[in-house]
Amino acid sequence: MRGTRVWARLLGLVRAVVEDVWIGDEGEIVVAARPGWREHDRCGVCRRHSPGFDLGDGRRRWRALDLGTTLAFVEAEAPRVTCRRHGVVVCAVPWARHHSRFTRAFEDQAAWLAVNCSKTAVAQLMRVAWRTVGGICERVADEAQREVDLLAGLRRIGIDEISHRRGQRYLTVVVDHDSGRLVWAAAGRDRKTVERFPRRARRRALQTARIGVLRHGVLDRWSGRRSLPDAVRCVDPFHVVMLATDALDEVRREV
């Protein structure tokens, strides 16, 4: 295996060619690369092949995952193309999301960490600014949402509330009972909040087909009656046990 392919493997560069590697002024490792021939001249937004426009602002760098203890960067030209839909835009590169200064692998790791620990911890560990973590999470979440329609095939849902900020604020969450996935969440916990869920579903052209299949909703103790008129309301075992335990406590105290 040639040296350049080892570097490509180390940085997770696929559909790309490594041209050179060097150590930069501040001790960082810089890997110069170019997109593979199939990846040339694609619009950064829609990835459609488009005619070239100009060379853009010259070479730029994307922060990659650290190599051992050392910061690593991918460096490449960033030419522009004229997309039929998006006008003049910077070309797509296979290793990074559009408008990002980080590689895809770097962003995926930062976003995973953000789900599992505090934003401050992520910023320190990944050596990025605190605000940058938020931007990374938005890009990763946007991409994930484009690829997966969370409301597709929805049949049995559960609605519940969770508190945050030490019980000061509430979120209403909707989960898909078949996949166990969170499909929707909004601030607040009253009936108006719940009613926003099907409204939004309707807006997304779900109309009869998908509203109809919300029939087997498991509704928590309030009131989905008006917001989900076709739903069959089921009793959530968690709340049954909770209510029974509370009642038992009361009787025990009386005794």
Give the interface with Zn ion as residue ranges (CB under 5 A). 43, 45-46, 83, 85-86
CB 161 within 8 A of CB 189: yes
Tell me how far apart the alpha carbons of residues 149 and 51 are, in angstroms, rounded to a whole number.
Answer: 32
Q: Which is nearer to Zn ion, 43 or 128 (CB)?
A: 43
Q: How is the beta sheet containing 59-67 ordered, strand by strand?
A: 16-23, 29-35, 70-77, 59-67
Minimum Å gap between C-beta 86 and Zn ion is 4
Minimum Å gap between C-beta 43 and Zn ion is 3
Q: Which is nearer to Zn ion, 83 or 137 (CB)?
A: 83
Minimum Å gap between C-beta 89 and Zn ion is 6
CA atoms within 13 A on the CB side of 147: 6
Minimum Å gap between C-beta 122 and Zn ion is 31
Q: Which is nearer to Zn ion, 87 or 153 (CB)?
A: 87
Q: Which is nearer to Zn ion, 85 or 127 (CB)?
A: 85
SS3 state at 54: strand
Tell me how far apart the alpha carbons of residues 167 and 149 are, in angstroms, rounded to a whole number.
Answer: 31
